[in-house]
Amino acid sequence: MIDKRLRKYADILVRHSLSLKKNDLFVISGSHLAAPLIKEVYQQAIKVGAHPFTHVGIDGLAEIYYKYCSENQLKYVSPLSKFEVEHIDASLSIISPENTRNMTNIDPKKQAMSSVAHQGIYKTFLERAAKKELRWCVTQYPTQASAQDAEMSLAEYEDFVFNAAHVDAKDPIKYWRTIHKEQEKIRKLLSTKKNLHVFAKDTDLTVSVVGKKWINCSGKENFPDGEVFTGPVENSAEGHIRYSFPGAYAGREVNDIQLWFKKGAVVKATASKGEQFLRTMLAMDPGAKRIGEFAFGTNYGVKRYTKNTLFDEKIGGTIHLAVGSGYPETGSTNKSSLHWDMMCDLRKNGEVYADKELIYKNGRFLNI
């Protein structure tokens, strides 16, 4: 029997997150474990009159690829992938891992080489999204692997995911529209500021946001959601930051990340675990060393770290600064094959000053 919450979840994705309409060419991607959600979304897309198709993955294929591929294969870009990103109207990516650590022993240089090769596709994706030619969303389907990472049973993790999505609200879509209105107050405040200065444990970092646009995230590109973000001035970051939680990227986990910035670029990077992987990713291309995104997490219903960036970066009272590619809609011109979100917890003794005025303390905006 299909969980009724899953049907509501799919309805939010189709009608709110992606606003699917008749004749949309729509791709749904996820592992075979996400089949129940894929089917629900597929069915609702058909009823809308869209043209859905699927990419259903099998665990272990990426590991096989990186283990045995040649340099020529790493640099190969399928014309089918290029055609797809140029023509689809909507894309849904469903995080649904069977094993969240299956890439741990893969050579990071191979991962970096492949990412660089696909930079053109990623650039096209971002540009079409910024022009509103392509609607996209990343979401989560509860799996045993994700539940284990979060130190929950599968049933507990299902409750966590569905509660974060507020599927039990009387009108879930109306709920997320209300969240949008509330976050507009934050977006409008930040849009009047020029410089931000962050203080936290082992953190003293400044960035400029002059001329950049702040974006209100309320269930569109990510679901569940809850953040307000921009792309800081590319050469403005100065100082240092210690990220509060492990950083997860490309099936790898890096612990106790610390970065030092000068003239916008990382000049020193350390980690207690995975330091070589961190440095390899930052050396991927020139843009990988710069901050592409600065965001405030605003979902106070998500309170705990779960080793899942989709949720962790939304934790109310945190900020996340992504190294690598920025989003063109913010005015960011930083280009990279990397986009790695890393979280800093400001709920205890954290402060953010804007133009030398304290606007945020201990995880909360003041006077909002």
pLDDT digits (tens, 9 = 90+) for 232-266: 999 999 999 999 999 989 888 999 999 999 999 99
Structural domain including 360 reads 174-365
Confidence of residue 368 (pLDDT cuts 50, 70, 90): confident
Average pLDDT over every residue of 81-86: 98
Whether residues 297 and 196 share a domain: the answer is: yes
Whether residues 230 and 155 share a domain: the answer is: no
Residue 240 structure tokens: 């240092």
Q: Torsion angle, CA of 350/225/99/56, rounded to 10 degrees?
A: -160
pLDDT at residue 222 tops 60: yes
Whether residues 146 and 202 share a domain: the answer is: no
What sign results for the dihedral spanned by CA atoms 238, 240, 243, 249?
positive
Calculate what percentage of the chain has a pLDDT beyond 90: 95
Q: SS3 breakdown of the chain: % helix, strand, coil, rounded to 5?
A: 35, 30, 35
Instruction: Please report the pLDDT score of residue 343 as a whole number.
Output: 97
Domain boundary among 139, 165, 191: 165
What sign results for the dihedral spanned by CA atoms 224, 227, 228, 229?
negative
Confidence of residue 97 (pLDDT cuts 50, 70, 90): very high
Whether residues 328 and 229 share a domain: the answer is: yes
Whether residues 35 and 111 share a domain: the answer is: yes
Measured between alpha carbons, how far is 220 from 102 in angstroms, rounded to an integer? 29
Domain boundary among 108, 142, 165: 165
Q: List pLDDT tens digits, range 284-323.
A: 999 999 999 999 999 998 988 999 999 999 999 999 999 9
Residue 204 structure tokens: 């003293």
In the block, residue with structure tokens 């950083």: 247
Average pLDDT over every residue of 146-169: 95
Average pLDDT over every residue of 328-352: 96
Q: List pLDDT tens digits, range 345-354.
A: 999 999 999 9
Q: List pLDDT tens digits, range 178-200.
A: 999 999 999 999 999 999 999 99
In the block, residue with structure tokens 């799919």: 10
Whether residues 270 and 208 share a domain: the answer is: yes
Pairing of strands 247-249, 252-254: antiparallel
Q: Contact at 8 Å (CB) between 93 and 125?
A: no
Whether residues 24 and 154 share a domain: the answer is: yes
Whether residues 242 and 356 share a domain: the answer is: yes
Whether residues 66 and 105 share a domain: the answer is: yes
Confidence of residue 367 (pLDDT cuts 50, 70, 90): confident
**Per the structure, how many domains does the chain have?**
2
How remote is the C-alpha of 46 from its chain's centroid? 27
- Greater confidence, 2 or 308? 308
Instruction: Please report the pLDDT score of residue 328 as a whole number.
Output: 94
pLDDT at residue 1 tops 60: no
Instruction: Please report the pLDDT score of residue 2 as a whole number.
Output: 64
Q: List pLDDT tens digits, range 274-285.
A: 999 999 999 999
- Phi/psi at 96 (nearest 5 deg)? -155, 60
Instruction: Please report the pLDDT score of residue 3 as a whole number.
Output: 81
Whether residues 132 and 223 share a domain: the answer is: no
Calculate what percentage of the chain has a pLDDT beyond 70: 99
Q: List pLDDT tens digits, range 4-33.
A: 899 999 999 999 999 999 999 999 999 999
Q: List pLDDT tens digits, range 159-175.
A: 999 999 999 999 999 99
